[in-house]
Structure 1
Amino acid sequence: MAAQEAARLVEQLAADVVVEVRDPGPKGSDVGDEQQRRAASLARLQAALATEELVAEAAAQQTESASAESVWLGASLADLSAVTGRTRQAARKRWPELGSIHRRRKWLGNHVEDIAHMAGLLATHAEDLAPDWGRGEFMNHARLLREGLDRCAEDFAEDAPVGGDPARRWRDLDALVDTTMRRIIETAGEPATPEAGFALHGATGVVGYYDHATTADRG
């Protein structure tokens, strides 16, 4: 986008901003309707300042979103530094959540098949893990697990379509481990079969490994 076009868009935004500016009154050097012209100009200045703040906030949000998406898609802080022209330390300071995203994405990228396997075992043996008390809540988590597995199978297939949110599959996989599998483990009852016990034990190991690898002090 050319600077001239950007300026035109900002001008249009400013025209829609409603502001109230106190008329400072007449000046001794006023000629004709200069007081009214001055008051209108001051109002435009106030609208421009308000628009500047809104545009800066929107641009910052867009930049933050794009940086997070890039890291979810495997970009390193060094990659961001090359694009922004700033140091990796500056990126960490400006977007502190990127460190957590980087650790999670790195771990998830190396364990997609392991996650799918253990989550699949949990889903298969959910009936044999359901507790007597709180069974409805547990089975709801199991349903969410199966739905998450179906989405992941589609999203990570070789012929998966490219949607409007290219990083969604990684966030969904992260939620599958950190939220859905974790809740099933926390609410499961005593395993009714050895196979169910193996599934629960394996899933507990996956979540524990996830926690170990993604905590901040592990970098």
Structure 2
Amino acid sequence: MKMTKFADIKGFVFDLDGVITDTAQFHTKAWSKLADQLGVQWSTELQNGLKGLSRMDSLELILKTGNKENDYSQAEKEKLATQKNNLYLQFVQTITPADIFPGIKEFLDELNQHGYLMSIASASKNAPTVLDKLELTDYFEHVVDPKTLKRGKPDPEIFIKAAEIIGLKPEQCIGLEDATAGIAGINAANEVSLGVGSPDVLTEADMVFEDTNKITLANIEANMNK
């Protein structure tokens, strides 16, 4: 655990996919459909490798997996990425507030009640659309625009910007992530890292919650005081 005290925390930086809701299932469906079209064998290993990556980095990994990284021009790659995104957006239209992970809405309400600041640090350009479908836009006035970033996760840039847009230093924030690349980025930004998922996978996180219902201020404070 970092030396940061719970009393020093003023804000929370959230990844979206895998932390607030599972839009990862829609990304998986869209990427697997595109991979099939490209003649690239889809696998659990490839699926896991895409977690936390930007759209273009994900496409590059798929092409590399099929030894096709040199088969397309940059313009063609951008068209493929757009095609995948259009598929994803079709799937996203089906999402509702019922798809928010258990306990997360209650946690957001708790943060509001205690005056904590919140922002979104998602590699997805569609985060505002997803938040709107989940009816969570009012909680997150501050969303990092991935188009403004030079580097993707695990680089800390997105998490540093997510703190900046709510007027805080990174060390005043707790970052929530479900991917190892995201946890690495949070740690590199010098924020406290809260993993959502398996502790066997998120081994570098300062604390891990397998059950989103357990993510409460009291439980976070207890973890930081260990």
Q: TM-score range with shorter-chain normalisation?
A: under 0.3
TM norm structure 1? 0.21
Q: TM-score, normalized by length of structure 2?
A: 0.20
More helix, by proportion: 1
> Higher strand proportion, which one?
2
- The structure with higher relative contact order (CA 8 Å, sep 6+) is 2
- Report the structure number with the largest CA radius of gyration: 1
